[in-house]
């Protein structure tokens, strides 16, 4: 009898712990409305507004929340300070209009602490970008700091090796070889010494650089963890037949597994022989864009020779001013195409298409 009482008390205590824990986890703010009837995709739509988006992989829902809800994180830099509503959007999953909720990401997550690892390609082909990379890092960090965020930044320069090394085909190195997560002043000073080496063949060691930063930088347990990969090249990977003595240590799948649910990777890709905005298939084992998609990050493009400025590419807003679109999927286990149409109060329009998406 005593044993049964103790067992019941133990179960009751456990239930209370679960209830208290759940009350401390933000839930989706509202009930997802039903899908609208008879709403079709617009036959024509403007594209004057740039929209970035990704499936939101970070948890914030309680276990009691709607199991098939899909969350899309949206970033609209030119309208980051405006109050948007559901009336500004149309959302389609596989050509079917969706009922959805729209809310600020900051309403369901805390951004008091952010750790950012900048993974910077320092090979010769980055000649048109490196000056802008250096100057914009400080501006970028200042933007975040002015918003009252406790932000630390680490920098991993890489080529065929991670970090880049003067005793290898990269032909360049830095002191220290990479910067651990540090304060604004230290990060800006380190960024100022960045320069270009050689890099050997076309692909570089992006996967190795990401994993080196993930394993050796001092990430805080209670901070949001973000990678920003800046490159114009695809990545070597284990088994790709790279020339000796360079031996890639990681595959793309291993990088995704390491970062998934723990960190977000955004890729800022220079348009050229490797990257095009018209690309939709990122499945090649050397293409790091799939890591961004699988971790809930954005793929952001810029043209070589243009002024490179992280603060103008939507990265700041991606961290501090994103919106969440939430809807219920009709078949969450399938692969999907999501299309989002945006119209601002000034009648400017934008369009986002996410193809081959798995929830």
Tally of CB atoms within 10 A around 232: 23
Among candidate residues 71, 119, 74, the one with its CA nearest the CA of residue 353: 74
What residues form DSSP beta bridges with 137?
none
Count helices and strands (H / E) in the chain.
7, 14
Round to the nearest angstrom and report the end-to-end CA distance of the chain.
48
The radius of gyration computed from the CA coordinates of the chain, to the nearest angstrom, equals 22
Structure tokens at 283: 């499945």
Distance CA 292, CA 252 (A): 11
Q: How much is the pLDDT for 94?
A: 95
Helix or strand run (H / E) with residue 91: strand 89-93
Of the candidates 120, 121, 108, 116, the one whose C-alpha atom is nearest the C-alpha of residue 143 is: 116
pLDDT recorded at residue 302: 86
Rounded to 10 deg, the angle between the 130-146 and 184-192 helix axes is: 170
| Alpha-carbon 40 to chain mean position | 30
Query: How much is the pLDDT for 60?
Result: 56
Which residue, 172, 182, 302, 307, is CA-closest to 232?
A: 302
Cβ neighbors of 173 (< 8 A, separation 6 or more) are 163, 164, 165, 166, 167
CB 224 within 8 A of CB 195: no
The DSSP element (H or E) to which 145 belongs, if any, is: helix 130-146
> What is the mean pLDDT of each successive set of 10 residues along the chain, which is 359 residues long?
41 38 54 93 93 78 57 87 93 96 83 90 88 81 78 94 87 94 91 84 92 98 92 94 82 95 90 90 94 88 78 70 90 88 95 87
């Amino acid at each position: 009898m005593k044993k049964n009482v103790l067992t019941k008390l133990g179960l009751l205590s456990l239930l209370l712990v679960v209830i208290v824990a759940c009350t401390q986890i933000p839930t989706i703010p509202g009930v997802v409305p039903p899908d609208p009837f008879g709403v079709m995709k617009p036959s024509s739509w403007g594209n004057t507004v740039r929209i970035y988006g990704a499936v939101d992989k970070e948890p914030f829902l309680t276990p009691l929340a709607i199991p098939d809800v899909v969350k899309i994180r949206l970033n609209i830099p030119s309208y980051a300070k405006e109050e948007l509503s559901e009336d500004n959007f149309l959302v389609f999953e596989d050509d079917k209009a969706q009922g959805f909720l729209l809310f600020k990401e900051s309403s369901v997550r805390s951004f008091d602490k952010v750790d950012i690892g900048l993974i910077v390609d320092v090979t010769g082909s980055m000649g048109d970008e490196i000056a802008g990379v250096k100057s914009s890092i400080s501006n970028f960090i200042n933007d975040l700091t002015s918003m009252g965020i406790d932000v630390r930044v680490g920098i991993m320069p890489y080529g065929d090796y991670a970090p880049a090394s003067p005793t290898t085909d990269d032909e360049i190195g830095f002191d220290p070889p990479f910067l651990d997560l540090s304060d604004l002043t230290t990060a800006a000073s380190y960024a100022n010494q960045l320069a270009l080496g050689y890099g050997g063949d076309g692909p570089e060691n992006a996967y190795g650089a990401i994993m080196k930063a993930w394993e050796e930088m001092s990430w805080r347990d209670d901070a949001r963890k973000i990678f920003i990969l800046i490159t114009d090249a695809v990545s070597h990977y284990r088994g790709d037949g790279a020339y000796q003595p360079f031996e890639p240590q990681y595959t793309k799948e291993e990088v995704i597994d390491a970062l998934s649910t723990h960190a977000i990777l955004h890729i800022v890709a220079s348009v050229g022989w490797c990257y095009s905005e018209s690309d939709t298939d990122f499945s090649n084992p050397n293409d790091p864009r799939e890591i961004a998609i699988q971790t809930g990050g954005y793929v952001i493009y810029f043209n070589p020779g243009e002024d490179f400025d992280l603060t103008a590419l939507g990265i700041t807003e991606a961290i501090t001013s994103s919106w969440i679109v939430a809807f219920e999927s009709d078949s969450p286990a399938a692969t999907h195409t999501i299309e989002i149409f945006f119209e601002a109060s000034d009648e400017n329009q934008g369009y986002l298409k996410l193809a081959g998406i798995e929830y």
